[in-house]
Amino acid sequence: MTASAIGGTGTARRGARRRFARTPVAVVSWALVLAYVLLAVAGPLLVTGDPLRQSPSALLPMGSPGHLLGTDDLGRDQLVRLVHGAQPLLMVALAATVLATVVGVAIGLAAGYLGGRAEQLLMRLTDVALAFPSVLLIILLVAAAGPGTSSLVVGVGIALAPGIARLMRALAARESARDHVLASRMAGTGGLRIALTEVLPGTVGPLLVQVLTTLSVAAGFAAGMSYLGLGIQPPTPDWGYMVQSGQEFLYTAPSLVVLPALATLVFVVACNFVGDDVRDALDRKGTP
């Protein structure tokens, strides 16, 4: 590799870094999202302890020495449960987002590329799904399959897929009208190959922003369903269930509710700001 090539690569990387995280809010948001990911992956290794272990001699934050954030009503260490609760919530949110993206992209890409009756049929089905409030649709799907992690992932993923499908349809329709796509059609290239290699790559930027927003919404729904008893089931530590079980002691031990609720809220807000930063960075990249 020549010196000019190396210099060009370094310049491109510095330019990419300058496009992202240009504001203090964006920097903090990226740091928080990364911290949550590290907490979910390595937190249980760094904060040792059994989140299910009960200490009858130490109940609730007041009067529980040896526990940094106190204990719950069963004597379980609050800090350990918070750290261990990050992983199941984030895994559910990530899995649901992946499912929503796969389903939404497949529907939207087919509708936007094919057009005609196929587009009308797929978009009408999408409109029907969007007509249901997301919370109600998730409750119906989870209740039908039974409470649990798998049904929660499917419920949240299916409920969030129509939003991605509608965006993807608009992006695919725009890309399908470009000259290089029309040239591939005239050359006799297969429709599936054109859709995957010519249309889909042009939609990645706006789609990434939507996926990040979907991730934040999925995390909120996952915590909300666990709060209602339809999500991650005890005794697995989960922030949503921790809020539900601690609300009885809201006035005597508010940290049982405030800490897991705040942890969920910060992640949701940080993901939204990261999505905004990615969108702004892509806009700046496209500006001459």
pLDDT greater than 50 at residue 4: no
Residues 127-136 as b or e (16 or more Cβ within 10 Å = b): eebbeeebee
Sequence-distant (≥ 6) Cβ neighbours of residue 177 within 8 angstroms: none
Residue 237 carries which DSSP code? -
Average pLDDT of the segment spanning 196-222: 87
User: Could you give the CA distance from residue 36 to residue 88 in angstroms, rounded to a whole number?
Assistant: 12
pLDDT-derived band at 205 (thresholds 50, 70, 90) equals: confident
The tokens describing 78, both together, are: 């609050």
Residue 39: inside a domain: no
Domain with residue 160: its CATH number is 1.10.3720.10
Q: What is the pLDDT of residues 220-249, one digit of tens each?
A: 999 888 888 888 888 888 888 888 888 888
User: Could you give the CA distance from residue 201 to residue 199 in angstroms, rounded to a whole number?
Assistant: 6
Instruction: Write out the residue range of the structural domain in which residue 276 sits.
Output: 48-286
Residue 100: inside a domain: yes
pLDDT greater than 90 at residue 187: no
Q: What is the pLDDT of residues 126-167, one digit of tens each?
A: 888 888 888 888 888 888 888 888 899 999 999 999 999 999
Of the given ranges (3-7, 39-43, 179-183, 203-207), which has the lowest mean pLDDT?
A: 3-7
> Which range among 34-48, 183-197, 223-237, 256-270 has the greatest average pLDDT?
256-270
Of the given ranges (60-64, 85-89, 128-132, 255-259), which has the lowest mean pLDDT?
A: 60-64
Please state the domain count of the chain. Answer: 1
Sequence-distant (≥ 6) Cβ neighbours of residue 261 within 8 angstroms: 239, 243
The tokens describing 126, both together, are: 């999408």
Residue 197: inside a domain: yes
